[in-house]
């Protein structure tokens, strides 16, 4: 497995693979890898001969006061896991490499509308940071396809929109959410939870599952969302949102718009102590109700 920090070495290697007609799949990460990331690597292997993973904690997507400084950095462990999965190249640039112009970097990628709602509302600037670094990484790696996890469902849609709008020749592939035994969606930030909060955190996926069940049974959407919020608050969560959306543009759906074929998603974000968790459940309303 090649581990490289600089763009020249990365480009020389990926150019060689392209010259040999070897398809390249890319998995961008911020490291501190868990089974969720590893499942994305497995998907990457199914779509290409060569797999490149990047590990870079991108300062541009953290607002002041967020956890950039404390974000877990576990490079040695990460590399061991990636080696075991047969990854071809791990790109581990530092900020000098990614943003050599520092404060003089004046070009940012924005995907308005889709980026302004939900996560964008609670984390202003987050998607500009994500899109800017993802586009830069795409330009560095020049992959044929890239795999993003559905846990960050809005991020997946925003990246897809950027790729469509800018005609980037990269196929975006979605990887299903990986969950702990009690249902908690895997995330590097789960490590921040103390043991009491870790025990409580399981209610997030349970509240989503119950909300879905209620909507499926024809309970009024507002009421189902409010029930989920109330359940979470009772368990000690500070809830940012629990909301039903259609699963393409994340627009609100009225009951009249929901047919048996409408792809729906319930998204939630809530804090337990200082840890902000997000989760979602995607579904199509069952035909019977």
Residues forming the active site: 37
Residue 144 DSSP one-character state: S
Q: Is 163 in the site for ligand PAF (CB under 6 A)?
A: no
Per DSSP, the three-state class of 146 is: strand
Look at the block and give the residue holding tokens 């997000």: 278
Site for ligand PAF in 41-70 (CB under 6 A): 58, 61
One symbol per residue from 79 to 118: x for binding ligand PAF (CB under 6 A), - otherwise; what is it?
A: ----------------------------------------
Q: Is 130 in the site for ligand PAF (CB under 6 A)?
A: yes
Residue closer to ligand PAF by CB (options 130, 184) is 130
Distance between CA atoms of residues 39 and 281, nearest Å: 18
Region from 76-84, 115-123, 130-138, 222-230 binding ligand PAF, contact rule CB under 6 A: 130-138
Q: How far is the CB of 29 from ligand PAF (least distance, A)?
A: 5
Q: How far is the CB of 113 from ligand PAF (least distance, A)?
A: 19
Q: How far is the CB of 62 from ligand PAF (least distance, A)?
A: 10
Per DSSP, the three-state class of 187 is: coil
Q: How far is the CB of 200 from ligand PAF (least distance, A)?
A: 24
Q: Which member of 133, 163, 172, 278 binds ligand PAF (CB under 6 A)?
A: 133
Q: Which member of 40, 52, 109, 134 binds ligand PAF (CB under 6 A)?
A: 134
Residue closer to ligand PAF by CB (options 137, 221) is 137
Q: How far is the CB of 31 from ligand PAF (least distance, A)?
A: 9
Picking from 164, 172, 166, 165, the residue whose alpha carbon sits closest to that of residue 144 is 172
CB environment 94-113: b (16+ within 10 A), e (fewer): eeebbbeeeeeeeeebebee
Picking from 187, 190, 63, the residue whose alpha carbon sits closest to that of residue 123 is 63
Q: Is 144 in the site for ligand PAF (CB under 6 A)?
A: no
Q: Is 152 in the site for ligand PAF (CB under 6 A)?
A: yes
Distance between CA atoms of residues 154 and 211, nearest Å: 19
Per DSSP, the three-state class of 260 is: coil
Q: How far is the CB of 155 from ligand PAF (least distance, A)?
A: 6
DSSP string, 46-101: HH-SEEEEEE---GGGS-TTSSTTTS---HHHHHHHHHHTT-SEEE---HHHH-TT
Q: Roughly how many angstroms between the first and final C-alpha of the chain, as a whole number?
A: 52
Distance between CA atoms of residues 177 and 41, nearest Å: 13
Residue closer to ligand PAF by CB (options 7, 284) is 7
Site for ligand PAF in 15-34 (CB under 6 A): 28-30
Q: How many residues make contact with ligand PAF (CB under 6 A)? A: 10
Cβ(240)–Cβ(278) below 8 Å = no
Q: Is 279 in the site for ligand PAF (CB under 6 A)?
A: no
Contact footprint for ligand PAF (CB under 6 A)? 28-30, 58, 61, 130, 133-134, 152, 155
């Amino acid at each position: 497995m090649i581990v490289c920090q600089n763009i020249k070495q990365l480009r020389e290697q990926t150019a060689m693979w392209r010259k040999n007609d070897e398809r390249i799949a890319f998995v961008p990460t911020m490291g501190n890898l868990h089974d969720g990331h590893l499942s994305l690597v497995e998907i990457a292997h199914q779509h290409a001969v060569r797999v490149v993973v990047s590990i870079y904690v991108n300062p541009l997507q953290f607002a002041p006061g967020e956890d950039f400084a404390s974000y877990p950095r576990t490079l040695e462990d990460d590399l061991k896991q990636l080696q075991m999965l047969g990854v071809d190249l791990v790109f581990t640039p530092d900020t000098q490499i990614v943003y050599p112009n520092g404060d003089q970097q004046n070009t940012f990628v924005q995907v308005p509308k889709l980026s302004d709602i939900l996560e964008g509302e609670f984390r202003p600037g987050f998607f500009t940071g994500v899109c800017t670094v993802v586009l830069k990484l795409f330009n560095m790696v020049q992959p044929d396809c890239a795999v993003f996890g559905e846990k960050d469902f809005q991020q997946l849609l925003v990246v897809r929109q950027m790729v469509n709008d800018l005609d980037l020749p990269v196929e975006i592939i979605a990887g299903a959410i990986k969950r702990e035994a009690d249902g908690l969606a895997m995330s590097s930030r789960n490590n921040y939870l103390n043991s009491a909060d870790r025990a409580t955190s399981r209610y997030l996926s349970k509240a989503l599952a119950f909300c879905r069940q209620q909507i499926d049974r024809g309970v009024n959407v507002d009421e189902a969302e409010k029930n989920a919020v109330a359940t979470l608050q009772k368990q000690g969560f500070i809830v940012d949102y629990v909301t039903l959306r259609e699963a393409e543009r994340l627009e609100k759906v009225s009951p009249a718009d929901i047919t048996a074929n409408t792809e729906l998603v319930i998204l939630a974000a809530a804090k337990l102590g200082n840890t902000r968790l997000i989760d979602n459940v995607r579904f199509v309303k069952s035909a019977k109700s």
